[in-house]
Chain A
Amino acid sequence: MAGQSSPLPWEGLSRDRAVAMKQAAILVDIRRCVGCHACGVACKTENDVPLGGFRIRTHYVQRPDKPTFAFVPMMCQHCKDAPCIPACPNEAIERLPDGRVDINKAKCKSDTACMDACPYGAIYVDPQTEKADKCNLCTQRTEVGLQPACVEACPTEALRFGDMGAEDSEVARLAAAHKAVAMKPDAKTNPAVRYIGLEAYMQDQAKGIQLGKGENGVLYEQ
């Protein structure tokens, strides 16, 4: 057993621990997801997300080949051609040096143009802060070398975080080996987030991250 002197993983966090990346992103492995919502609750607690707004949401979709569910987590896809960035009249949506897309709250005037522009429904307006918000891969965590809340929580490694822009990174290698694909490629947003095991029917059923009009359940249509 390690002695008192060796620091434990959660001790002495500092900004020196941040890992530089070309393209920070999440690799979703549908084959591993069990639909447990550990990601969703960890995210909401971590980021003070209001009820009714979602940075990540796991859809339960009905399989066409079997009478069971497939589980599809969706979060901001951190698109390389992100339509939300030009849509914002206040230039509040920025691309960070590691490629992720983030909302600058100081500039946000809760204009909803970004919400309309996003094909994934990634953005919500917080009713109390009156600011637009969405997944930013937990900058407050990654800046001290921690993984995004959803990834750290995920019990089955269905979510992995890493540098999709570095060929030798774990996520890039796995994405290549398993021919990971983008969600909703027809939207031509060039997402950085990639999926292993994503099938067409999942994309049809998992419409978006926010609750759609008249949609009254988080898991599936009720």
Chain B
Amino acid sequence: MSDITRRNFMKYTALALGAGVLGARAASGQGAPNKPARKVKHVARRIDYTKAKATPTICFGCTTQCGVLGWVFEGRVVRITGNPLDPNNRGKICAKANGMIEGQYYPERILYPLRRLGKRGEHKWKRITWDEALDEIAARMKKIKDSGRPDLMAVHTGRDKTQGVIQRFLYAFGSPQALNRRAICSSNPRVSNMSYFGEPVDWDTGDYAATKYVINFGSNPMEAHQGGMGAMQRIQQARVDRGAKLVTFEVRPSATASVSDEYFMVRAGTDGAIAMAMAHVILREKLHNEAFWKRWCNFPLDKLAEHLKPFTPEFAEKESGVPAKDIERIAIEWAKCAPACLTLINRGITKHYNGAHAGRAARLLDILVGNIGKPGGFTMTSRSNWKGEWGQDGLPKFGMPEPAPTAPAPWLPGTPMFEELPQKVKDRVKGWPEDMQKKYFGELYTPSEYPLSFSWQVMRVGQLVYPYLKEGRGRLELYFSYVFNAGYNYPESQLAREVLADEKLIPFHVAIDVVMSETSALADIVLPETTSLERWDFQVTNAYELVPFTGIRQPLTKPLGEARSVLTIFRDLARRVGGGMETYFNFEEDEQFYKEAMKNLPISWDELKRRGIYFDEMRSKDYELHERAVPEKEMEGATVDEKTGVISKDDKGKKKVLGIMADGKAIRGFPSKSRKIEVMQDLFPKAAKWAGLPESDPCSSPLPTYFRVPSHENMADNELHLVTFKWNVHTQSRSNYFKYQVEIVHNNPVWMNPKTAAAMGLKEGDWIEVSVKRPKGNTYRGNEPGFVASFKNRVKLLAGMHPKVIACSHHVGHWEQGVVATAKLSAEANGKEGHDPALTDRNLPDNIWWARSKGGPGNGVHINEVFPIDPTPLVGTQNWYDCVAVVRKV
């Protein structure tokens, strides 16, 4: 097959399917297959629901994982609706669910394995067979394995939701390098929760159905919140039907701010000051729950009062701009609703340099009033993996089929991996205690300057992978990307693309993707993945009804073209590599694998497939799990630590903690080390020491605290905060070829307060240039002078914008992902003669009214180049909302 250019790329993706289906079409008497479709007048499809078949599955529109039904009519998936058996979304969906259908039948979907010709990113591809693709990749894997360094293979994922398939593949090979995106999103709020409870909570799953008062620190449950579907319906019901109150601290008029009973514009990065001041007020007014505190917290109240002393409402007003009297009033109102009151910290408040502590400060309010685990309060449901731990008594065990591969050995001093690290890193790690050293797997997976990214839970700092590869702090031979588009949506995405394009830094890149993205365009081999409507999977997630449940994803239709699931791809690679790797992928059909994973559920596989959801309605709600008794049977052979009361016993040579003694009773307590709420958390100062963070950096505080974001000190009058945000119809860069969603949001004017604009001589629709400075403080390239990058965009004036803040959404401004994402109209994007009619969309390209060529506003501006790689000290969360920008009219 000869070289093909970008212009003709379509021929080798969706178009190429044509040959396979033409026979059937001709045979069915539909006439000549190459007659151009658009000359035939379209007849709008009317679904006949007596003939359509519904199959339950799981939404992949975002990561909330709602139970949905996929309706197939005349051989095609035509609708996604909610699965009423799902206790979280209760039969409801958001705008993203039906986008899965757009992805399924997108004319520019990748349907065949492709091999790069020419340079990376040149868009010259050759269609190859699966055997050619897998043989080449497996040969590279074998070579890496034979060299004794399996760690040189990595898989970098976005929110793939494969429940451990990625790690299984890597562990089976011997590599720890399951790189991810957690620092892009949730690692700070996880640390806020883990530091208290020893439990990351995944998302805040408060008991919204029974609450009376929610204080929301910059979260956005009505729009783009993980778990938003469950939260939004319960919060709105609580508000409208029961008079519950929602107060939001935000910088912009988000949908959540808009429906809130009170919205306070807060200066970016200062929510923590408000939370600390509220704690101050609650203690001062004696609205705290002393009995709860004494029973559960590891720090004396009088000392806490002393710690909170300087954080007065007046101090918080000075920092945040929110009036002291409102801070006081709300703190009192809220605390008086205890225990049916809660805070939301996932995640505006936490996406800052001070975010882990700001999140701690806000969660301190819940602890102070003792709403933890109470009806209407901050509740923690059983942990998501159902391993029979805390709060999971009586739940069936399920998970990945046995045998499971064992984790690779840590990179201890003396191992070849360790010895090739830069001297500075080696010196740092050698100074750590043994248990931390045993958690170390190199700088890509466990960056040594960010020990809190792997001390509780391995969260990783994905945005550092590219700079670290460039600087030689890690190296790779083979790199897979999956559900992942760093080339578009990572901070300093230009650096991601630079590294992805450099064959010295990433010698071989295999992208597993559905549509050519800014990242897969820089691959050497692109493997066509099945869509979420064509594959198997399962979900375990937070439970708003406070009863753990699970569900399965199942195919609604056969994969189009030659698309294969990631599980099948990994199985076939494992078989080719051999040497035992294949034993972890011992199945013929994906279904077998998942059937095995679910075998302990008290429901047959067929019934699970029929319902889509397993939910035990008879099980009691997960209120106050920490007060539950340790079952007597578990207590047999257990010992109690005299000093701490912690109950443990030997479990196959390992100490297993069961609970804590309280008033002579053996109860579960919290999953923290002390089984208590660790208000005083000594891991922060310890981690600071391990990381070499200067003692002066307040990120090392063992107590919840507030301090100003270093970048925000001494901002000049012409400098503004820049924040970014997500739209309710989009998920990162996943949804930008879903036509009905893009029709609603296809561009991203910069939101600005009208007064700010007037002072700059700007009016609605004017063009501005936004230039972002390098961050200050102890972060990556902190305190370097100069700017990261600039973008030009129009302004939209909104009175609800904080006058010192501008906001610009991402999602848009794509130059890959085809005609809907780019709004560059070309007839061949929708197929030419012989194109598979299943992948023809009568809307494309002519109905894309927002295209510039049609006089529309265009497809928006890509802004992720201006966001500096800016990890929070110790944790590594990307400080998306810390940017300081200079704006000028153009």
Contacts and interface: CB of A to CB of B under 8 A. Distances in A.
B843 A51 contact: yes
B89 interface: yes
B739 A37 contact: no
Interface string B257-270: 11110010100000
B323 interface: no
A156 B94 CA distance: 10
Interface string B739-762: 111011101010000000000000
A127 interface: yes
Interface stretch (A6-14, A81-89, A90-98, A162-170): A6-14
A34 B850 CA distance: 25
A155 B800 contact: no
A156 B236 contact: yes
Nearest to B848: A51
Given A8-B85, A8-B610, A68-B263, A32 B236 contact: yes
Contact of B44 (A9, A51, A71, A129): A129
B229 A32 contact: no
Nearest to B90: A155
A9 B265 CA distance: 45
Interface stretch (B45-53, B362-370, B564-572): B45-53
A126 B101 contact: no
A34 B260 CA distance: 10
B847 A127 contact: yes
A21 to B, nearest CB: 18
B765 A1 contact: no
A218 B743 contact: yes
Interface residues of A, number: 63
Interface residues of B, number: 81
A182 interface: no
A68 B79 CA distance: 33
B93 A38 contact: yes
B857 interface: yes
B607 interface: yes
B603 A152 contact: no
Contact of A129 (B43, B80, B610): B43
B50 A34 contact: no
Interface in A168-222: 211, 216-219, 222
A204 to B, nearest CB: 17
Contact of A69 (B96, B253, B265): B253
**Best-buried of B46, B223, B265 by chain A (most CB within 10 Å):** B46
A116 interface: no
B49 A144 contact: yes
Given A32-B240, A51-B848, A153 B82 contact: yes
A42 B41 contact: no
B586 interface: no
Nearest to A144: B49
B222 interface: yes
A68 B800 contact: yes
A141 B69 CA distance: 15
A58 to B, nearest CB: 9
B856 A216 contact: yes
A9 B81 CA distance: 12
B212 interface: no
A216 B223 CA distance: 22
Contacts of B229: 155
A35 B49 contact: no
A36 B222 contact: yes
A112 interface: no
Contacts of A219: 744-745
Contacts of B233: 155-157
Contact of B94 (A36, A48, A67): A36
A46 B98 CA distance: 9
B95 interface: yes
Interface in A37-87: 37-38, 40-42, 44-52, 62-63, 66-71
A79 to B, nearest CB: 23
B616 interface: yes
A211 B207 CA distance: 40
Contact of B857 (A11, A63, A68, A216): A216
Contacts of A144: 49-50
B849 interface: yes
A212 to B, nearest CB: 13
Given A8-B85, A45-B101, A50-B843, A38 B236 contact: no
Interface string B284-298: 000000000000000
A34 to B, nearest CB: 4
B846 interface: yes
A149 B52 CA distance: 15
Contacts of A130: 41
Given A36-B223, A155-B89, A45 B743 contact: no
B611 interface: yes
A42 B98 contact: yes
Contact of A37 (B95, B232, B765, B857): B95
Given A34-B236, A40-B95, A46-B47, A218 B744 contact: yes
A209 B96 CA distance: 21
Given A34-B232, A128-B42, A130-B41, A152 B842 contact: no
A134 B104 CA distance: 26
B728 interface: yes
Nearest to B611: A8
A222 B93 contact: no
B357 interface: no
Interface in B724-747: 728-729, 739-741, 743-745, 747
A14 B49 CA distance: 8
B189 to A, nearest CB: 22
B82 to A, nearest CB: 7
A176 to B, nearest CB: 17
B81 A152 contact: yes
A152 B743 CA distance: 22
B336 interface: no
Given A45-B79, A129-B43, A141-B49, A37 B744 contact: yes
Contacts of A217: 747, 857
Given A67-B263, A143-B49, 6 more contacts: A8-B610, A36-B95, A51-B743, A71-B258, A127-B846, A140-B48
17 contacts: A9-B84, A34-B255, A35-B255, A36-B728, A37-B744, A38-B93, A38-B95, A47-B44, A48-B45, A51-B743, A129-B42, A140-B49, A152-B82, A152-B91, A153-B82, A216-B857, A218-B743
